[in-house]
């Protein structure tokens, strides 16, 4: 890597480090209780968070190992060695049988917690898929079908998780209800715009202000195909999520230990240290990846025309409405759209990636994190006669960037604070 590619990679690494469990979790862990520490973790950082918990209580705190138990459910390929807290790898973005097993075990452990115990819940992006417990009357296959349709609809994560919370026995505060006799402390790595606790892993330990009516409206809005059993569940008052004032929240504390804004701040510092003026577009961007790229391309081209040395930085979570049958994710699609718009411009380099190390894909740990584009991309594109617009029409960004050699391949980072997008514009 040379030139701005090296800087782009360094910026990505800095955003990950600012949210890695090894760097941020230990100082936020509560004191050991009179009874047991029951650790329940879900998401892409779950195993790494569980390992940090073990180091804190068993090594630094000298807790009797018999007083520490629990389960961490994480995405395939995101496991790390643990001693007392069992790790289950499960499906993401579409849940699987392992997700179901992890949720059932977690609910059982929570229900067994006593008033002397600490129920320590650790959440990170991916938790909604890693814990799956369909509401009564809904089969696992029916829940999977709704989940797939939501993911392909282009709906923002807030809307997707509103539906998920109302079709679940663990989400929407229900895990807290199961463990209500214990003290409950939830520590979360936020992967959602505006850091809403109800959206992070679908809020298993917090009150939910949304309703069954909201979920029904979203099913209709996005034209989500579903079975009659799902309709019945969304019309059954017993499936309403836990609301403020529920006894489940009497001894309950929720804290965010890492968030997209903090990681974006790390990126901003690195860009400024490299001599770039910074245009910070915020950590909560949403919208269609290809549409957002159009606006960002305009900003980059205007800066280039004005002779500014500018870094355009943004976080958040973009979406893709799937129309083709190609491969890729929102960051690759964003980069691919930019490649079509910036191909005749010089001095502009881009990185767009998911901080968890996997942008879209089928849940394989070898999936790309995103893509990088610069003058080398454009030269290769022309030499191979690649048409970025044709690939874009087929949602096939991975094939395009595999051909140009510009996929960002990091493997699992063991954290997740959403996306990081960096556009570096050289001065004339």
Please report which confidence band the pLDDT of residue 147 belongs to, taking 50, 70 and 90 as the band edges. Answer: confident
What does the pLDDT average to over 70-88?
97
- Tell me what pLDDT residue 152 has: 86
| Peptide bond preceding 93 in cis form (omega within 30 of 0) | yes
Q: Is position 218 within any domain?
A: no
pLDDT digits (tens, 9 = 90+) for 270-323: 999 999 999 999 999 999 999 999 999 999 999 999 999 999 999 999 999 888
- Tell me what pLDDT residue 365 has: 85
What does the pLDDT average to over 75-101?
95
Q: Which domain holds residue 416?
A: 3-13+261-425
Residue 200 and residue 340 in one domain: no
State how beta strands 407-408 and 370-373 pair: antiparallel
Residue 249 and residue 320 in one domain: no
Q: Is position 249 within any domain?
A: yes
Domain count of the chain?
Answer: 2
Average pLDDT score over the chain? 95
* 1, pLDDT greater than 50: no
What does the pLDDT average to over 44-64?
97
Give 365's contacts (C-beta < 8 A, 6+ positions apart): 75, 76, 77, 78, 357, 358, 411, 412
- Tell me what pLDDT residue 255 has: 98
Q: Is position 350 within any domain?
A: yes
Residue 193 and residue 276 in one domain: no
Q: Is position 160 within any domain?
A: no
Please report which confidence band the pLDDT of residue 69 belongs to, taking 50, 70 and 90 as the band edges. Answer: very high
Residue 72 and residue 176 in one domain: yes
Residue 8 and residue 56 in one domain: no
* 167, pLDDT greater than 60: yes
What does the pLDDT average to over 86-106?
94
* 361, pLDDT greater than 90: no
State both tokens at 26: 């230990």
Residue 281 and residue 383 in one domain: yes
**CATH for 413:** 3.40.1480.10
Q: Could you tell me if 72 and 47 are in contact, meaning their C-beta atoms sit under 8 angstroms apart?
A: yes
Please report which confidence band the pLDDT of residue 94 belongs to, taking 50, 70 and 90 as the band edges. Answer: confident
Strand 118-123: give its sheet, edge to edge.
Answer: 86-90, 68-75, 37-42, 118-123, 183-189, 252-258
Lowest-confidence range among 39-43, 51-55, 150-154? 150-154
pLDDT digits (tens, 9 = 90+) for 10-28: 999 999 999 999 999 999 9
Residue 305 and residue 189 in one domain: no
What does the pLDDT average to over 122-144?
93
Q: Could you tell me if 113 and 181 are in contact, meaning their C-beta atoms sit under 8 angstroms apart?
A: yes
Angle at 61 between CA 58 and CA 64, to 5 degrees: 50
Q: How far apart, in whole angstroms, are the C-alpha atoms of residue 128 and residue 99?
A: 9
* 368, pLDDT greater than 70: yes
* 428, pLDDT greater than 90: no
* 2, pLDDT greater than 60: no
Residue 90 and residue 60 in one domain: yes
Q: Could you tell me if 348 and 424 are in contact, meaning their C-beta atoms sit under 8 angstroms apart?
A: yes
Residue 249 and residue 288 in one domain: no
Residue 383 and residue 335 in one domain: yes
**CATH for 90:** 3.40.50.10180
- Tell me what pLDDT residue 376 has: 95
State both tokens at 132: 């799956």
Q: Could you tell me if 425 and 308 are in contact, meaning their C-beta atoms sit under 8 angstroms apart?
A: yes
* 332, pLDDT greater than 60: yes
Please report which confidence band the pLDDT of residue 3 belongs to, taking 50, 70 and 90 as the band edges. Answer: low
Q: Is position 78 within any domain?
A: yes
């Amino acid at each position: 890597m040379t030139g701005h590619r090296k800087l782009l990679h360094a910026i990505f690494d800095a955003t990950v480090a600012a949210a890695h469990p090894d760097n941020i979790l230990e100082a936020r862990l509560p004191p050991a209780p009179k009874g047991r520490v029951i650790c329940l973790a879900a998401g892409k950082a779950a195993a790494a968070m569980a390992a940090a918990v073990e180091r804190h209580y068993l090594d630094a705190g000298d807790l009797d190992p018999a007083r520490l138990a629990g389960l961490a459910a994480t995405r395939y390929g995101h496991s790390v060695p643990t001693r007392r807290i069992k790790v289950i790898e499960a499906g993401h973005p579409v849940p699987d049988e392992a997700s179901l097993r992890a949720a059932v075990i977690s609910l059982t452990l929570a229900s067994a917690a006593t008033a002397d115990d600490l129920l320590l819940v650790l959440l990170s992006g991916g938790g909604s898929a890693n814990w799956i417990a369909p509401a009564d009357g809904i089969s696992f296959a029916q829940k999977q079908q709704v989940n797939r349709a939501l993911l392909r609809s282009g709906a923002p994560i807030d809307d997707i998780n509103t539906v998920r919370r109302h079709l679940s026995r663990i989400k929407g505060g229900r895990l807290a209800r199961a463990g209500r006799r214990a003290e409950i402390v939830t520590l979360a790595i936020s992967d959602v715009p505006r850091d809403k606790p109800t959206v992070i892993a679908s809020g298993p330990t917090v009150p939910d202000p949304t309703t069954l009516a909201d979920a029904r409206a979203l099913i209709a809005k996005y034209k989500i195909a579903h079975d009659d059993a799902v309709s019945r569940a969304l019309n059954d008052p017993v499936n309403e999520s836990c609301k403020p004032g529920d006894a489940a929240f009497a001894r309950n504390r929720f804290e965010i230990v890492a968030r997209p804004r903090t990681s974006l701040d790390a990126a901003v510092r690195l860009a400024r240290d490299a001599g770039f003026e910074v245009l910070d577009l915020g950590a909560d961007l949403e919208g269609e990846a290809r549409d957002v790229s159009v606006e960002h391309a305009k900003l980059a081209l205007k800066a280039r025309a004005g002779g500014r040395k500018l870094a355009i930085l943004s976080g958040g979570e973009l979406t893709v409405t799937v129309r083709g049958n190609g491969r890729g994710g929102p960051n690759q699609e964003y980069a691919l759209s930019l490649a079509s718009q910036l191909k005749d411009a010089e001095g502009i380099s881009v990185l767009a990636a998911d901080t968890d190390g996997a942008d879209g894909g089928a849940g394989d740990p070898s999936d790309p994190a995103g893509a990088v584009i610069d003058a080398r991309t454009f030269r290769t594109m022309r030499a191979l006669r690649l048409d970025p617009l044709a690939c874009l029409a087929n949602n096939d960004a991975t094939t395009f960037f595999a051909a140009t050699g510009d996929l960002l391949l990091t493997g699992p980072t063991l954290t997740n604070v959403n996306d990081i997008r960096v556009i570096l514009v050289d001065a004339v």
